[in-house]
Structure 1
Amino acid sequence: MEEETLIPPESQPPISEELDSDDDADHPMPDMPHQNPSSPPSHSDSDSGSDDDDNDNAQDKLQLQNLEAELSTNPSNYDSHVQRIKLLRKMGEIEKLRQAREAMSELFPLTPAMWQEWARDESSLTSGDEAVHTIEKLYERGLFDYLSASLWCDYLSFVLQHESSVREYSPDGISKARDLFERALTAAGLHVAEGNKIWEAYREFEQAIFHTIDETDVQAKEKQIQRIRSIFHRQLSIPLVNMSSTLLAYKRWEVKQGNTLDTESSNLDGISSHVASAYKKALEMYNARVHFEEQISGQDVSDSERLQQFINYLKFERSSGDPARVQVLYERAIADFPISSDLWLDYTHYLDKTLKVGSIVNNVYSRAIKNCPWIGELWVRYLLSLERGHVSEKEISSVFEKSLQCTFSTIDEYLDLFLTRIDGLRRRISFTGEKEDVLDYSLLRKTFQHASEYLSPYLKNTDGLLRLHAYWARLEIKLGKDLVAARGVWESLLKICGSMLEAWRGYITMETELGHINEARSIYRRCYSKRFPATGSEDICHSWLRFEREFGTLVDLDHAVQKVTPRLEELQLFRSQQESKLIDEKENNFKNAREKRKSVSDITDGQSPAKRQKDATQNQKQVHGKDKAQVQNLTEKGKMVERTQVDKPDIKNDIQKEAVPEKAKVYTDQCTAFISNLNFKATSENLREFFSDVGGVVSIRILHDRFTGKSRGLAYVDFTDDAHLAAAVAKNKEMLLGKKLSIARSVPKHGRRENIGHNVENKHESVEGSMESREPQAPQSAAGKRRVDDFQMKGKNTFAVPRNVRALGMTSSKPTTEKPDDENPKSNDEFRKMFLKG
């Protein structure tokens, strides 16, 4: 077999590498032709023990010590294993050499050349039936790793020469040899380039048996002739190299049996029709494949090109529909490219779809994970294949534990492994009918616990960890029949992902589906005041109100409204404050940019064009650097949650505009439609097209969240007159991008509005997603405005009570001053009535 060195991907252990020792593979170990394994290596007392030899031995020992030190710290260093074996073989250290080979074979598959070298070394050092049995095991192990016709030929030759029963042609020996030849033909008999070697060896063995039969035993001789003829016919029906030579050999053999055939030509005259027909078909098949064989065996072709030629060849072979030929070609490909993960994935996928023999598929998977242990998908599919083959729980558990020792590229691969293992345990517990295979639920719980501890540090606040715990809690109820344990699962998740809204919702959903309304309500009370990303804080408040409408009493609803309302007011106030600060900051940036452009223009009037261009570039960079610092400072002062960089490009674009806005635009919303339930992916173009049949659209404003920059599902559309507006409102409840729009005439408030620049939305208050207009509010006093501007959120779960609402039972110790009626603080009941009325 042609040898080559294969370099594995970086950061992964190499899987296969041919030893550059053709001569070593063909000859026994040097200086030790026939020694007892337990005896020390012999040393010549001649002049060969010179100083140069001593220096070489010292260097070899030092190199060996370095290699062993390296392997003690990094056992997965493939190259160090290879070098140690070479060095020990050179030094003649028999026992250490055996140990080194065994250690390497435990971690990596060895190449056919390495197995041939190992077997030949052992056969040159030992003798006897026990030694023959040991060497046969070595060949069997080598044949398991990769397909190699040459290794099969070596194995067959060794058995024919050293197995006494085979050598003496005893009935048992003949039977053993024939079984071995049939196995070899099954594995490599379809190998187009090298399969003919096994067929020829098989015929020679049967010919040798024929010559041992007594001439007087005509019946036995005739039976043996038919056996040899059958092997010829089988070989002639398979597309292999040198088919014409095989045909001529068959003709010559038939002539010796007394048949008249033309042994000088390759015509089929005189050959039975069914043999001739099979030969013609095989020859056509070979001619269709010969160009593929030439391409994959080319000497001047790069590895990548050869791999691509193998893939093309495989596509062709799969189209022919012969699974046995496809499997042999896959085996040939992985023997040349053992660390190609795509090749292994494609091979195993083909076997899963086509081959129903579980043992064969499992064997391929076991080799795949040994060659490419860093591919999580191979381990996952191996576990599924073992489950399909109904192997024992002990074997599946062993494979799973080995998979966790590997290094994968993403944490999601580990999650997939755990979920696959859990799925298999769930199926065995739920659907197995055999008592001896029934597993205890504690094993499933233990696996979940292991997964949570293993993955939580890496999957905090992710959907993957939520999925794992939701699955766990569901099985605790369904299979474990333990509600307390299910609640414990959710509580443990909340300790890790307490800022994840979906974790709380999942917990609430479980309690609601089980009919535990009070428990679900208590969870709402725990989380409604928490701070969630984006609009999560508002969403949980609205969710609680919807929950009480559907499941609670009126008292429960009133209590939820009392709790939720100040929280929503606080969130709305906080967002307005941040938006206002951001708008002020932008205005300052505009002014600074305009002043800098003016100053740059004045300075550069008297400069050369080249100097002016250089200074302008430097000033622009300074402006941009200042903008970034200002945005970062704003984030720190406002204690805002981490935002995406959606706002930064807006500031840059505004600075780079040639025309600085003289005055921020103010929207009066006197002829405006308010759109809600808008698809988050909808754009202004989508809305303009939606109202194209109405016409009269002046401007479109889609509202975005200041923290994330994502659409809030709300928009304002200005029209030229009331007629167009009325036509637009008539399109209420029509679909846009899969969502039914709610369209109403915008009713702006009187007094101060916060719709400058980015047009802060009309304060259409909503409870449970319904847009309900509230009563106009009086303009704020100066003191009230100052209180709003100075407002800051405090604490982890703070929800500020509005300044004009007094908590129940709260009294003020400070003297009160008379205020106009419209500025008197409202009581809690008055505030609730006003809210419900709106």
Structure 2
Amino acid sequence: MEKVEKSPISTEEEEDTEMGEGDVVENPKASSKSSSDSESSDSEDEAEQNEQLQTLESELSTNPSNYDAHVQYIKLLRKRGEIEKLREARENMNALFPLSPSMWMEWAKDEASLSDDSGFEAVEKLYERGISEYLSVSLWCEYLNYAQEHDPEVRQCSADGISKARNLFERAVTAAALHVAQGFRIWDAYTQFEQAILLTIDHSDIQAKEKQVQCIRSIFHRHLSIPLANLRATLLAYKAWEVEQGNALDAESDTVDGISSHVASAYQKAEEMYNARAHHEEQITRQDISESERFQHFVSYLEYEQSFGDPARVQILYERAITDFPVSSDLWLDYMRYLDKTLKAGNVVKDVYSRATRNCPWVGELWVRYLLCLERGHGSEKEISSVFEKSLQCTFSTLEEYLDLFLTRVDGLRRRISSARGDDVLNYSLIRESFQQAADYLSPHMKNADGLLRLHAYWARLELKLGNDLVAARGVWESLLKTCGSMLEAWQGYISMEIELGHINEVRAIYKRCYSKRVSGTGSEDLCHAWLRFEREFGTLEDLDHALQKVTPRLKELQLFRLQQESKSVIEATDKREKTSQKTAREKRKSGSSAIDEQSPAKRQKNTSQYQKKLHEKENTQGKNVAEANDGEGKKGKVDKPVNEQQMKDTGPGKTRLYTDQCTAFISNLDYKANYEDLRQFFSDVGGITSMRILHDRFTGKSRGLAYVDFVDDEHLAAAVMKNKQMLLGKKLSIARSNPKQRERESFVLNAPGGHEDASNRSGIDGSSASKESVESPKGSRVPQSTASKRVENFQLKGKNTFAVPRNVRPLGWTSNKPETREEGDEKPKSNDEFRKMFMKT
């Protein structure tokens, strides 16, 4: 801290311009030039300072909450010596923020240097304001020294002056003497003051001298019983002072030998306590750690002190912590909770709450606790109202904090009006004004919020109980419905109030208003059902019929709307899922193709053949019945697509691709985006599914909207057929029992490579197929079955195409007993003459 001399606010520091006798000015022109340069530099500095002042003044006029701007403005005014502006700037800053101890010391010293002893009271008030904001041993010591030097009564050592000084020292001891690191400074100053008083007492006044000696000895004893730094130096000073009083002690020894037993015991205990806290003191005073680390050390230290349960020591440590971390709201809240638990109420607690809200005005909980503290201490309505109005000028981070503040204010008014206690005459109009103020502020920002509903419900209840005004209570609900008309709870609260009052017709009128409203969630349906329930319990049969007439079409409309919304959401989810799977498949193909492209065609064919061979051997070992798919291998040198491991796993040992459709449901009009999981969910209430197969287009791979689902028995199949015309993904499914009549054709299809696909997978001359189907095993895993993977050599497909005919749907005129006919094109080719004769006949 820079020490302020006699004129600390001077514009420039005075320099010694006197010259010695031997000094000679060798170059007057150079001296003149130097002087002009100095004047030019000063003018430039002054212009720069004026510009800074204007900038800071403009900033503070637009943003008075800028703390740093206040600090810079005060420093610049102090440098320029503008006393009146400096006082005003300090007052303006202190009206918004607490000042640091160093700023208070600077202010008090500046004012002390500008006034004589007649201005002692003004400076004394500055010190009093400073010590009330933060705990600072240095500020207390400055205050004590100033009082001894400039207070006329204390300086004259009059009885009143000595009593006044002692009271000030006792206040300092109470406030700061338990400060482990610096508290000894207060005790040392107190001891020195009393020793100075001893010197002023006449030697002949033995009684007065003995009384003063006992006073000094008592201060030493109190000092030695407190765990403070520099405790051994205090013991040596005490023993030296006792030697001066004629007691035989070893003043050079730092042991307790020679002093009374109770003092020695207290000293040893204090020393042990200090040693136990020395580590914590070292941690919180370290300069080589971050602020967050130091804060955590303070927290640990506080937990340690609280474990001993000494409120005075804990409070001093909290004061030290908030002096170092004044804007930590968590620290202030912890401090408040501790005081509420230990001291409950009183001026000390109220002072802490006041300082907390000045340091962290943006924290709503601090203001709420402050209002409760004032009420707990039976504060006046004027004081509570003033604090509440101050809180509304602050900016909180959430609307819930504003709501909590308004509700706390109303709670206090309600309690005091109900108890009819205190000198203040309160009436219900204060509650109504507070509610209205809260509604005006919060309604635009909390539309359809639970907090706004809670506020109005509380308001309406108090209008009935304290205000005895039913019209006003209804008006509260009506005002809420203007803002939250789509909120189910708002209508329910209004209806509940009327039901409790027994106003049946009013309730019915409200239901007629709200049943057709669009309410969030399932609120519309809930209101319709609530109206019917109300009419059953309170209305006549005609009232119930009327409600049914109104509600039934509304419920149907809502049900249709829900189905549309669900279908839309399912489609969107399916689209998203398919896009993700397609993207993954593309990435896999891309990564796989890069490795294959690096190989030559001959090498790829060789590797594929080797892989096919290994896979075939593995399949035979596991008992897989897939040998039929490899019958044509080697006949024409074609390399088949390898069957992947998942297919072999899903087929399972001993399972074949023979589908007799003895207990199978055929499903059509299936949504193209439906998958096996959707089918499984659809038939989850039926159960008994053994496998599922969805038909896909051979070339595009897209679903054809057809599927087969096999069940374990006829009972489950019948239950599945009963679900015919039910919705799945927004489409009505057609579900029928699969019942093919052509056994010969079925046998032919079962032996074909496509398996279950009937004629839909018959191969052409080139061995290609027009469609494929994927198979779901009983375990639920998909097994895509590729058709035309092998050419079948034991048949030829001739005649008209019967491509993709479902097994329970046959072309017109095609029966199982119809004999097989041969097309004319299958006979021996005719010659030109035969053709000519055939046409000439016609």
Q: Note whether the superposition's TM-score is higher than 0.5.
A: yes
In structure 1, the partner of 2:355 is 367
The code of the aligned residue for 1:73 comes to T
Deviation of 1:490 after TM superposition, in Å, equals 0.2
Task: Report which of the two structures shows the higher radius of gyration computed on alpha carbons.
Answer: 2
Cα pair 1:88 1:97 within 8 Å, conserved: yes
Aligned to 2:435: 448
Distance 1:407 1:194 in 2: 38
SS at match of 1:66: helix
Q: 2:59: which partner in 1? A: 70
Contact 1:669–1:746, Cα closer than 8 Å, also in 2: no
The correspondence of residues 20-39 of structure 1 with structure 2, limited to 5 A, is 22-23=1-2, 28-31=7-10
CA distance in 1 between partners of 2:364 and 2:585 (Å): 61
* 1:229-249 alpha-carbon deviations (Å, 9 max, x no partner): 110110010011111111111
Of 293, 305, 310 in structure 1, the residue corresponding to residue 293 of structure 2 is: 305
Aligned to 1:408: 396
Aligned equivalents of 1:341, 1:372: Cα separation in 2? 6
Query: Which position in structure 2 is the counterpart of 1:15?
Result: none
Match of 1:494 in 2: 481
> Percent sequence identity over matched residues?
65
Change (3 A) 1:526 1:721: farther
In structure 2, C-alpha distance between the alignment counterparts of 1:120 and 1:186, rounded to whole Å: 24
Partner of 1:342: 330
* CA–CA distance in structure 2, aligned partners of residues 348 and 292 of structure 1: 23
Q: Determine the structure 1 residue equivalent to 2:272.
A: 284
Q: 2:702 matched to which residue of 1?
A: none
**Cα offset, 1:432, TM superposition:** 3.1
Checking the alignment, whether the CA contact within 8 Å between 2:362 and 2:397 is kept in structure 1 is yes
Equivalent in the alignment of 2:458: 471
3-state SS in 1 of match to 2:236: helix
Distance 1:317 1:26 in 2: 42
Q: Deviation digits for residues 487-513 of structure 1, max 9, x if unmatched? A: 000000000000011100000001111
Deviation of 1:172 after TM superposition, in Å, equals 0.7
1:701-712 superposed matches below 5 A? none
Q: Structure 1 residues 70, 585: CA separation in 2 closer, same or farther (over 3 Å shift)?
A: closer
Output the TM-score relative to the length of structure 1.
Answer: 0.69
Judge which range, 80-89 or 552-561, deviates more: 552-561
| 1:469–1:212 CA distance, 2 compared to 1 (3 A) | same
State the distance in 1 between where 2:84 and 2:375 align.
Answer: 40
Q: How far off is 1:109 after superposition?
A: 0.7
Aligned to 1:88: 77
The 1:224/1:539 distance shift into structure 2, 3 A limit, reads same
In the alignment, the residues of structure 1 paired with residue 432 and residue 487 of structure 2 have an alpha-carbon distance, to the nearest angstrom, of 24
**Residues 561 and 747 of structure 1, relative CA distance in 2, 3 Å threshold:** farther
Letter in 2 for 1:136: E
| 8 Å contact kept, 2:726–2:732 | no
Deviation track 1:588-642 (CA, whole Å, cap 9, x = no partner) reads 999999999999999999877699xxxxxxxxxxxxxxxxxxxxxxxxxxxxxxx
* Aligned partners of 1:123 and 1:135 also within 8 Å: yes
Residue 348 and residue 555 in structure 1: after superposition, are their counterparts in 2 closer, same or farther (change >3 A)? same
Cα distance, 1:114–1:530 mapped onto 2, change above 3 Å: same
Q: Is the 8 A contact 1:415 1:464 kept in 2?
A: yes
Query: Would you say the 8 A contact 1:667–1:759 is kept in 2?
Result: no
Matched, 1:548 2:535: yes
Please tell me whether the aligned partners of residues 501 and 536 of structure 1 are also in contact (alpha carbons under 8 angstroms).
Answer: yes
Partner of 2:44: 55
Bigger shift: residues 181-190 or 406-415: 406-415
Contact 2:345-2:373 within 8 A present in 1 as well: no
Match of 2:383 among 395, 399, 404: 395
Maintained 8 Å contact 2:11/2:80:
no
Residue 532 (structure 1) shift: 1.4
Distance change in 2, residues 1:56/1:512 (3 Å): same
Q: List per-residue Cα deviations over 1:246-305 (Å, max 9, x = no partner).
A: 111111111111211111112212211111111111111111111111111112122111
SS class of match (2:349): helix
1:267 aligned partner, one-letter code: T
Instruction: Look up the SS of the partner of 1:301 in the other structure.
Output: coil
**What is residue 241 of structure 2 aligned with on the other side?**
253
Q: Deviations over 1:356-395 (max 9, x none)?
A: 3421111111111111111111111111111111111111
Structure 1 residues 314, 594: closer, same or farther in 2, change over 3 A?
closer
Report the Cα offset of residue 555 of structure 1: 2.1
Q: Counterpart of 1:238?
A: 226
The aligned counterpart of 2:88 is 99
For residues 671-692 of structure 1, give each alpha carbon's deviation from its aligned partner in whole angstroms, at most 9, with x where no partner exists.
58xxxxxxxxxxxxxxxxxxxx
Amino acid paired to 1:183: R
Deviations 1:161-209 (A, max 9, x none): 0011100000110110000000000000101111111111111111111
1:568 match: 555
Does the C-alpha gap of structure 1 residues 609 and 466 become closer, same or farther in structure 2, counting only changes over 3 Å? farther
Of the candidates 388, 402, 407, which is equivalent to residue 419 of structure 1? 407
Residues 239 and 751 (structure 1 numbering): CA distance in 2 closer, same or farther, change over 3 Å? closer
Structure 2 partner of 1:739: none
Gapped regions of structure 2 (runs ≥ 5):
14-34, 599-670, 692-709, 734-842
Conserved 8 A contact 2:11-2:79: no
Distance 1:559 1:748 in 2: 39
Q: Judge which range, 50-59 or 22-31, deviates more.
A: 22-31
- SS for the counterpart of 1:437 is coil
**Relative contact order higher in (CA < 8 Å, ≥ 6 apart):** 1
Asked if structure 1 preserves the Cα contact closer than 8 Å seen for 2:480 and 2:490, the reply is yes
1:463–1:580: structure 2 CA closer, same or farther, 3 Å change rule? closer
Relative to structure 1, the CA distance from residue 48 to residue 84 in structure 2 (aligned partners, 3 Å threshold; closer, same or farther) is: farther
Separation of aligned partners in 2, 1:56 and 1:350:
52
* Code of the aligned partner of 2:513: R
Question: Which sits farther off after the overlay, 457-466 or 255-264?
Answer: 255-264
Paired with 1:198 and 1:663, the residues of 2 have a C-alpha distance of 82
Q: Deviations over 1:399-457 (max 9, x none)?
A: 111111111111111111111111111111111323x3231101100000000010011
Residue 121 and residue 587 in structure 1: after superposition, are their counterparts in 2 closer, same or farther (change >3 A)?
A: closer
Distance (whole Å) between structure 2 residues aligned to residue 584 and residue 312 of structure 1: 57
- The Cα of 1:573 is off from its aligned counterpart by 2.5
1:569/1:229 Cα in 2 relative to 1: closer, same or farther (>3 Å)? same
Gap change, CA 1:670 and 1:457, over 3 Å in 2? closer
In structure 2, the CA distance between the partners of 1:501 and 1:222, relative to structure 1 (3 Å rule), is: same
> Which residue of structure 2 aligns with residue 681 of structure 1?
none
Specify the SS of the correspondent of 2:2: helix
Cα distance in structure 1, aligned partners of 2:587 and 2:242: 104
What is residue 515 of structure 1 aligned with on the other side? 502
Alignment partner, residue 792 of structure 1: none
Name the CA shift for 1:608/1:381 in 2 (closer, same or farther; >3 Å): same
Q: Which amino acid aligns with 2:49?
A: D
Q: Counterpart in 2 of 1:125?
A: 114
* Residue 664 of structure 1, CA deviation: 5.4
Look up the equivalent residue of 1:284 and give its one-letter code.
E
Question: What's the offset of the Cα at 1:752?
Answer: 2.7
Match of 1:207 among 195, 198, 217: 195
Paired amino acid for 1:419:
L
SS of 2:395's partner is coil
Q: 1:515 to 1:162 in 2, by over 3 A?
A: same
Which shows bigger deviation, 595-604 or 423-432?
Answer: 595-604
Distance 1:268 1:193 in 2: 22
2:370 to 382, 395, 400: 382
